[in-house]
Each structure stands twice: as structure tokens, then as C-alpha cells.
Chain A
Amino acid sequence: MALNFSRRHFSSHLSDESMKIANGYGDSASVDILDVLPSDPFGMDINNTFTAITGWLEDLEVDCSRYGRDEIWVGDGSHQLFAGLSFIWNNAMRFQEFPERNVYTNGAFLSTSSVDEVGESSGRCTTNENAQVHPAFGFCLYRLGVKDLLSASMVCKSLHTTVCDDLLLWKHIHICQPLSEKITDEALLQLTERAQGTMQCLRLVDCSRITDDSLKQILERNPQVVKLGVSGCTRITIDGVLSILRDLNSAGKPQVKQLEIGGIFGVTKDHYDELFGLLDVDNNVEQSIPKPRFYHRGDSSCVSCDDDDRVLDIEMCPKCQNARLVYDCPAEDCKGKEECRACSLCIQRCFQCGRCINDSEYEETFCLEFLCADCSKQSPKLPLEVENSI
């Protein structure tokens, strides 16, 4: 259902945008998308018009079938261990040795020094009046995505209190499908408020309703953010992001260590250089060679932010010198070759495996994507998004 909904939403969103941009081109519902699109709506290089449109369609494309469980990022194991270790080392928490009544601890391990202490944990714990909810469940909340957390909050009052009041649950917020297109400025502000200023990671993927102003407001209220991602958020501009980073920097030393802006349009070399100046790059530490990035439809949603330690996801494409996401090639012939490193506009790639499509056999799908011969053979009848249903 959600897939069909998003497909409908996609086309209505498209028609709204094209109506605005095209200044009333008539009934967009019956007009071919390509006819309605103006030549350079986002100030992209006019020479790349057709490929730019392809890129735009790529960036706006929704693949709900892949995103069902990606929200789990919000509380993956390493985050929980980190939370646990940070509490052990900081001795910030004291835990009840073993709950006599149903009290949630915050997901960290008991500190060995606190084993003998039978103390109340800090204000983060919620006294659970509802004896049906096992205290162990509190630990599991840290592994739920945002949508599941919201569902859990509707189960009973004590879970609602925990979900709303536990800061740790909102320290890392990752919004991807199916919430991406649904989340509004107001809803995001409400969620981020729950961190009470302690939010460290905010990762928005394809959140097309979020604006520069609300992002600015959120970062003002949560100045400790070290990782920020706005991939595919079409209403966020590069100037908006720069303004936020400048404000954060003027308040103190640079905080943001990692930034994802793949899919934001109009990023020039000057913007790119300024970004590096504003991010917290430790020049004394040699930057480790980043893992190769392979093209895959919906790639920004699938990559956990813990996997990638790049400071900035985009780079200057070796071929066109535009600031975009640059992909490596997984094909055996191309591995390690610099010639096969470029943005998706310069080198066409298979959307499944990411290998380059040069003179080799390929299939072009209805969505103007490419499938290499191997991937095409493996799934001869590609399940189109509209056919998948939840």
C-alpha cells in the first residue's frame, strides 16, 4: 500500500513542482513529464540538460521496497555499545542492580562499579506503572527506527512517556522511507525537541518537505550535532547548509565532523571549498582512504552513517569537475582504475551492481535507468515499484 501511495505522491509532487516551475503549463496530469520540465530549473549547467534531468529523476526516485528496515540505524548495536561505554567511563549513570519494579534503564550496561549500588537511575528512567511492559523492553527501544518508536509510543502510557522523555532515543535521528516524504517541518521539530539539545546525528534522506528554515532552527536548538545528512532533501539549499554551518562555527569551534549533501543541487567549487573550511576536519590526522562507493539505486538510504567515515560525501568529479557524489566501479576490469571514478552523470552505471555501462550490453528501464547484462539476466522480469505491495 505504502508503495502505491508513494508512487501517487511522487507524481502529484512532480506535477505540483512542474506547475510551479513551468508557470501553469496546463493540466500536468495528462502531460508527459519530459515536455513539462523546463530546461534549467535548478541552475544546473545547461550543457548537461538531458543528463541533468536524468539525474534529477534519479535523485527524486523513491524505492520503497528497499527501505523497510533501514530505519533501524537509529539504534544499531555500536550506538548502544557507545552509549554503554560512555556511561561506564563517565560514570554518569547509576543503575538499579536488578529491577525490583519495572524501571527502564537507558540501554547501557551496568557499570561494574555500580553493581553493589542500589540506586535510582537518573531522570532518564521512567517508572513504569504498567506492569505488562517488561523492563528489558526498554533496552530494545534503542534498536527501533523512528516509525516503530512512534508505534511503540501508542501502545500504552508508559511506553509513550519513555519514547517522549528518553533523550538517548533521540540522540541519533535517521529519517528514511517510509517517513521521508511524510515528515513535515513541524513533525521533525517535535521529534528533535525530544533530544533536549543533546542530538548528535541528524540524517534526513529524501525528506522533500523539510526546509532550510526548519533545519536551521533545529541545529540552533541542538548545537552538539556532529553528523548531518540532508541527501536528496530537495528543499534544502547549499546556501542554507552553509549558513547553518557558519552560525555553528561563529558560536564556537567547528562541531560538524561529517556532512552528507549528495543530491543538493547547485554546489559549486566555491561552495565545496567553503564547506571544508567549515567542517571539523582534523588536519593533523591523516584521512584514511575511504571505502569505495558503488552506485546503487537508493544508495544513500542503505549506507549506515557508521560505515562511512568521510568528512563530506560529495567530491569534485574527476571528469566534469562538478561537486557531486563520485562512484567507484566494482567491475573486475575497472577495480582501482581512476578512469572509472566519476559522478553518475559522467559514467552511466548499472543501478543494481554499480558497474559501468560502456559499450557492453545493457538494458534501459522505463525509469531511464541502466541494467548491465549480468543483472538483467538475473532478474529477467524486473519487479517494478508499482507492482510491489506491502
Chain B
Amino acid sequence: MTKEMFTLKSSDGFLFVVDEAVVHQSVTLSPMVQDCAGREYPINNVTGKILNLVVEYCKNHVVVDGGDSSSSSSSGDALKKWDDEFITQMDLSTVYDLIMAANYLIIKGLFDLACQRVADEIAACKDHEEIRATLGIVSDYTAEEEAEVLKENEWAFD
């Protein structure tokens, strides 16, 4: 049985040819399986760089999800390890773009993985100043406003 291939086109014109199993991982793209075989499907919100990562994630998850239903825990562990390496190697700005793409394409696993990466970065920060440094945010509080907010939350920090 020949696999049907689909062409995804990123906002900056890159083309990705993927099979049905990859497309099905996106709730947004699943319906196009009936309509768009052989045609290019434009994904206007996602750049080539990010779409490449999305496709890589989906391809990797097809291999395991397509296996037998009683998949061994070792393959589950291997996939988890792959996921960890996949998401950890990226810088935060790429992770943010991946979150937006996974949200638009509705790919739950990728969305959760990327959001959790950011959450882990925040949780590792010991205070709000470290969060600012990690996220590259400059405070727009005045000294009085900051003192007020610190006072509001002082019960939690000491």
C-alpha cells in the first residue's frame, strides 16, 4: 500500500513532504488528509525553521506510536530521552515559537513538552530577578511599585 504524501509549505516558502501519519498528529491538519493529497498546504503562521522542528518531532513520534499497543517501557523511555534532548538543545526563543506552532497545529505532546521546558526554567530560578535574567525581561516597575508588589507577596518569600 503506497503511503500518501502531503506537502506542507511554511510561511517563508520551505516545503516539507510528510506522510499521513505525521499529518494526523496535528488536529488542525488532520482534516486535510481527505482534501489535499498531492497539493501544497500552506501553513502561514509557521516559519521553515520551526516547521522543520515540528516535523522532526512528529516523525519521531510516529515510529513509536505506530508500534504495537503493548509498547515496551524501554521504547517509552527512549522516546522520553529523545524528547528531553530535543527540547533542551533549543534556546528559549525557539521554544516559544514552537509553543505557538504546536498551539496552532494542535499537537498536544509537543505543546506540553515545550511549555514544560519553559516552566522548568522558571522553577529553577530562585527569585523574580533570576526569572528576569533568564527570560531577558527588563522590569517596568518603578521603585515604589516594586516595593508594593514585594510587600504583597512577602509572606511567601523570606
Residues of chain A at the chain B interface (Cβ within 8 Å): 5, 69, 72, 75, 77, 80-81, 97-99, 105, 109-110, 112, 115, 129-130, 132-137, 139-140, 142-148, 150-158, 160, 179, 182-184, 187
Residue pair A136, B123 in contact (C-beta under 8 Å): no
Q: How far is A133 from B122 in the complex, measured between Cα atoms in Å?
A: 13
Q: How far is A184 from B153 in the complex, measured between Cα atoms in Å?
A: 11
Closest Cβ neighbor of A184 among chain B residues: B155
Q: How far is A158 from B132 in the complex, measured between Cα atoms in Å?
A: 13
Q: Which of A112, A115, A137, A184 has the most CB of B within 10 A?
A: A137
Q: Which of B116, B119, B128, B132 has the most CB of A within 10 A?
A: B119
Residue pair B123, A144 in contact (C-beta under 8 Å): yes
Q: How far is A222 from B28 in the complex, measured between Cα atoms in Å?
A: 36
Residue pair B122, A109 in contact (C-beta under 8 Å): no
B90 interfacial contact with A, CB 8 Å:
no
Q: Which residue from B100, B106, B111, B139 sits with its C-beta under 8 Å from A155? A: B139
Q: Which residue from A110, A137, A154 sits with its C-beta under 8 Å from B104? A: A110
Interface SS of chain B: helix, strand, loop or mixed? helix
B149 interfacial contact with A, CB 8 Å:
yes
Q: How far is A99 from B45 in the complex, measured between Cα atoms in Å?
A: 10
Q: Which residue from A139, A144, A187 sits with its C-beta under 8 Å from B156? A: A187
Residue pair A148, B138 in contact (C-beta under 8 Å): no
Residues of B within 8 Å of A97, CB to CB, are 45, 104
A184 nearest CB across to chain B (Å): 6
Residue pair B96, A115 in contact (C-beta under 8 Å): no
Q: How far is A72 from B116 in the complex, measured between Cα atoms in Å?
A: 10
Residue pair A143, B115 in contact (C-beta under 8 Å): yes
Known: A98-B45, A153-B149. A5 touches B158 (CB 8 A): yes
Known: A143-B119, A154-B150. A137 touches B132 (CB 8 A): no
Q: Could you give, for residues 28-67 of chain B, a 1 whenever the CB lies within 8 Å of some chain A CB and a 0 otherwise?
A: 1001000000000000010000000000000000000000
Residues of A within 8 Å of B125, CB to CB, are 148, 151
Residue pair B127, A151 in contact (C-beta under 8 Å): yes
Residues of A within 8 Å of B106, CB to CB, are 109-110, 112
Q: How far is A87 from B23 in the complex, measured between Cα atoms in Å?
A: 23
Residue pair B99, A136 in contact (C-beta under 8 Å): yes
B146 interfacial contact with A, CB 8 Å:
yes
Other than A151-B122, A156-B137, give 13 A-B pairs with Cβ distance below 8 A: A109-B108, A112-B28, A136-B103, A137-B96, A139-B111, A140-B118, A143-B116, A144-B119, A145-B123, A153-B149, A154-B146, A156-B141, A187-B155
Q: How far is A38 from B150 in the complex, measured between Cα atoms in Å?
A: 41
Residue pair B155, A140 in contact (C-beta under 8 Å): no
Q: Which residue from A80, A109, A133, A139 sits with its C-beta under 8 Å from B27? A: A109
Closest Cβ neighbor of A111 among chain B residues: B106
Residue pair A134, B111 in contact (C-beta under 8 Å): no
Residues of B within 8 Å of A130, CB to CB, are 137, 140
Q: Which residue from A5, A140, A182 sits with its C-beta under 8 Å from B119? A: A140
Known: A135-B100, A145-B123. A80 touches B112 (CB 8 A): yes
Q: How far is A115 from B32 in the complex, measured between Cα atoms in Å?
A: 14
Closest Cβ neighbor of A149 among chain B residues: B122
Chain B interface residue number, banded:
35 or more
Closest Cβ neighbor of A154 among chain B residues: B128
B127 nearest CB across to chain A (Å): 6
Residue pair B96, A136 in contact (C-beta under 8 Å): yes
Closest CB pairs A-B (n = 7): A143-B119, A154-B128, A136-B96, A136-B99, A140-B118, A134-B96, A98-B45
Residues of A within 8 Å of B150, CB to CB, are 154
Residues of A within 8 Å of B119, CB to CB, are 72, 75, 140, 143-144, 148
A344 nearest CB across to chain B (Å): 31
B69 nearest CB across to chain A (Å): 21
Q: Which residue from A115, A132, A179 sits with its C-beta under 8 Å from B136? A: A132
Residue pair A150, B153 in contact (C-beta under 8 Å): yes
Q: Which of B131, B138, B156 has the most CB of A within 10 A?
A: B156
Residues of B within 8 Å of A80, CB to CB, are 112, 115
Residue pair A148, B27 in contact (C-beta under 8 Å): no
Residues of A within 8 Å of B97, CB to CB, are 136
B135 interfacial contact with A, CB 8 Å:
yes
B93 nearest CB across to chain A (Å): 8
Residue pair A154, B116 in contact (C-beta under 8 Å): no
Residue pair B128, A132 in contact (C-beta under 8 Å): no
Residue pair A157, B155 in contact (C-beta under 8 Å): no
Q: Which of A98, A139, A150, A152 has the most CB of B within 10 A?
A: A139
Q: How far is A75 from B119 in the complex, measured between Cα atoms in Å?
A: 10
Residue pair B138, A132 in contact (C-beta under 8 Å): yes
Residue pair A156, B140 in contact (C-beta under 8 Å): yes
Residues of B within 8 Å of A99, CB to CB, are 100
Q: Which residue from A105, A133, A148, A183 sits with its C-beta under 8 Å from B123? A: A148
A-B contact pairs, 16 of them (CB 8 A): A81-B108, A98-B45, A98-B104, A109-B106, A135-B96, A136-B99, A136-B114, A136-B115, A137-B96, A143-B118, A144-B122, A153-B153, A154-B153, A155-B128, A156-B132, A158-B140
